Structure 1
Amino acid sequence: MDETPRRLRRQMASARPTEKVITIVSPCYQEEDNVERCYQAVKRIFDEYLPGYRREHVFSDNASTDNTVAILKEIARNDPAVKVVVNARNYGLFRSTFNALQYARGDAVLLMLPVDLQDPPELIPEFVKLWEQGYEVVAGARAERREGWVMRACRRTFYTLVNSLADFDIPENVGEFQLVDRKVLDAMLDHRDQYPYIRGLVASVGFRRIIVPYTWVERRNGKSKLRLGTLIDQALNGIFSFSSLPMRAATLIGFALSALCLLYALAMVVAYFLMPGVAPRGTTTLIVSVFFLSGVQLAFVGMLGEYVVAIHAQVRHGASVVERERVNIDEGEKNCTPHLS
């Protein structure tokens, strides 16, 4: 693996002033009612509770068509601590956020603070305090969710499934609202993933972690852009990105079903000669067998397809995100980002 990006990041880190920098990354899409409120909330928290730290706030916009970009540009024009990345199109939450993380220059980085503020920015001072105590990953856990029981049950099922398949643990209810040390972020950025599952990357690289529970509140303005299909896509990505167990299970189940079908066929042959009036005949048995095995085959082919699609995306080596413009970001900073075109 090319060590140039990591070496450049270390050189930039060593060139920082003694005042520690905390970076906040906020993805947004069609959030003209929330971006100003998010910016002011973070600024107020740093002014009141973190006066000894330097603030860096990176907004990543997924090609909004409302006034979100205009508001962000005005904020950045008046505050050099704010950086703005505007994507050429909507690349989804994780790809957009991971791309923005490559511009983070902080000694510690809050991986994701969505501008809807359902994850409370008031926890940032506590996160920083725990980071200063030696924890390299301070993870917020949504101990209480103000959402329906169906979504809570689906999320619980997902965490149970992914933790049983992966060879590392993703704590239940822990999302991307996590403050990580610089070396954790560097290890994450070394993963050249076209569809990064950020919380999985954090868990996979390890380091010392502490979990802070909090209440995930309801939105005050606007509507969530995450739909059920998007959540399912994220869940499948999390499962297939960090485990080969589904394919191994498919292989074992395929062998087991083949053996059972062979035994069934032998049993029917024996029954035909020994119990001709009892052995099942006709098309019903054949139809049931064919449809059952066809369903199993289609499920496993689909599972194989998930892996093939993931491999195809990786080997194409295209840019994970194409940017339209950047604000308050020097051109030289792009040299430290191996994923950008």
Structure 2
Amino acid sequence: MLESGSGRRLISIVTPCYNEEANIDELYARIKAVMATLPAYDYEHICIDNCSTDGTVAKLKEIAARDKRLKIIVNARNFGHIRSPYHAILQSRGDACVLIASDLQDPPEMIAEFVEKWEQGYKTVLAVKPESDEHSFMFALRKIYYRLVTRISEVKLVPNATGAGLFDKQVVEILRSIKDPYPYFRGLLCEIGFPIATVPFRQPRRQRGVTKNNFYTLYDIGMLGITNHSKVPLRLMAIGGFVLALVSLLIAGLFLIAKLLFWSSFQIGLAPILIGVFFFGGMQAFFIGFVGEYIGSIHTQVRNMPLVVELERVNFDD
């Protein structure tokens, strides 16, 4: 076990930030208060800033100047909501690493529960939200997605996991060896295979600042979960294409027979032709799009780009 200078075991707390100026002070204070209730542990608090355009970095540096436990990584540009936090986890040096959101929708007070589960022997602990104060439609949509991905995934996933949690140093070392440039982090933790403890909580609404999630980011992580952990869509497309070809052949045969039997009176008309063209065109576009997602995932892997490029580090003395 890695120990800090005080002889206590070290916990690394990672909080990804992007334009969270309004939340930084409370985030820092609440994490500090929680760790004060865990006297057996020392901690480092790593904030990785994804090239914020507000005063987030200035506020972080102000706090870091008086508390060396707060460490800052500033990215050269915005590398997205998937790569940036994953990079920070790999930079941690504690006996365990905690990932928690900087928007305070994952309450920092859960850290004590994470550590308790870790002390019980679990190498991975995940926060799950069976209840949420977010819009009911979005919450229902997320639950449907998790249910779908869990059903088609090749590994058993944790439903309603937010991504926040605690990961033992052994898990972090395995993540370092995988070298995935664009991971579906929640799925990757399940794929490693260690038993996972869960900490349920009711997710509050964001109190300050603006959410960084939009349709594209939600679609991105949603599709990543499917393409990284399931071949079922590809196989459904192959089976579906075969079935559609058989049905089309059967319908074509029936039309041919009807035309031969009722040559003068049977008229096909334009409607069936137009419906068929648009239907099969739509199906082809859908299939090609899904295949494109898998090809895009392969392209990301083979480029072997770094997770992020760092512009600056603060308080990383070693």
Q: 2:90 aligns with which of 74, 95, 102?
A: 102
Question: How far apart are the structure 1 equivalents of 2:135 and 2:265?
Answer: 52
Give 1:14 deviation, angstroms.
Answer: 5.7
Q: Which residue identity does 1:71 align to in structure 2? A: K
Question: In structure 2, what is the Cα distance between the partners aligned to 1:267 and 1:156?
Answer: 44
Aligned mate of 2:112, from 77, 100, 125: 125
* 1:89 counterpart residue number: 77
Partner of 2:109, secondary structure, is helix
C-alpha distance in structure 2 between counterparts of 1:285 and 1:130, whole Å? 62
In structure 2, C-alpha distance between the alignment counterparts of 1:278 and 1:212, rounded to whole Å? 70
The Cα of 1:176 is off from its aligned counterpart by: 1.0
Task: Name the residue aligned to 1:44.
Answer: 33
Structure 2 Cα separation of the partners of residues 16 and 123 of structure 1: 23
2:18 and 2:56 in contact (8 A); partners too? yes
Aligned mates of 1:230, 1:207 — CA distance in 2: 28
Query: Where does residue 58 of structure 2 map in the other structure?
Result: 70
* 1:11-61 deviation digits (Å, cap 9, x = unpaired): xx66866521111110111111111211111111111x1011011111010
What residue number does 1:149 align with?
Answer: 136
**Map of 1:314-329 to 2, 5 A cutoff?**
314-329=301-316
Residue of structure 1 in register with 2:123 after alignment:
136
Q: Which residue of 2 aligns with 1:337?
A: none
CA contact (8 A) 1:268 1:279 kept: no
TM normalised by structure 1 equals 0.88
* Structure 1 residue aligned with 2:251: 264
Question: Deviations along 1:92-116, whole A, 9 cap, x unmatched?
Answer: 1121100111111111111x21122
Deviation >3 Å, runs of 4+: 13-18, 275-280
Identity of aligned residues (%): 40
For residues 208 and 328 of structure 1, the distance between their equivalents in structure 2, rounded to whole angstroms, comes to 34
Q: Is the 8 A contact 1:271 1:278 kept in 2?
A: no
| Aligned match for 2:160, one of 152, 156, 173 | 173
In the alignment, the residues of structure 2 paired with residue 203 and residue 169 of structure 1 have an alpha-carbon distance, to the nearest angstrom, of 7
Alpha-carbon separation, structure 2, partners of 1:218 and 1:231: 17
In the alignment, is the contact (CA less than 8 A) between 1:23 and 1:56 conserved in 2? Answer: yes
CA distance in 1, matches of 2:264, 2:185: 62
When residues 278 and 27 of structure 1 are mapped into structure 2, their CA distance, relative to the original with a 3 A threshold, is: farther
Q: Structure 2 CA distance, aligned partners of 1:271 and 1:32?
A: 72
Note the 1:173-252 alignment, pairs <5 A.
173-252=160-239
**Aligned position for 2:293:** 306
Q: What SS does structure 2 have at the residue aligned with 1:121?
A: coil
Corresponding residue for residue 339 of structure 1? none
Change (3 A) 1:234 1:201: same
Distance 2:230 2:164 in 1: 23
Count of residue pairs the alignment pairs up:
317
Structure 2 spans left out of the alignment, 5+ residues: none
Q: CA deviation at 1:77?
A: 2.1
Unaligned runs of 5+ in 1: 1-12, 333-341
**Which residue identity is paired with 1:132?**
E
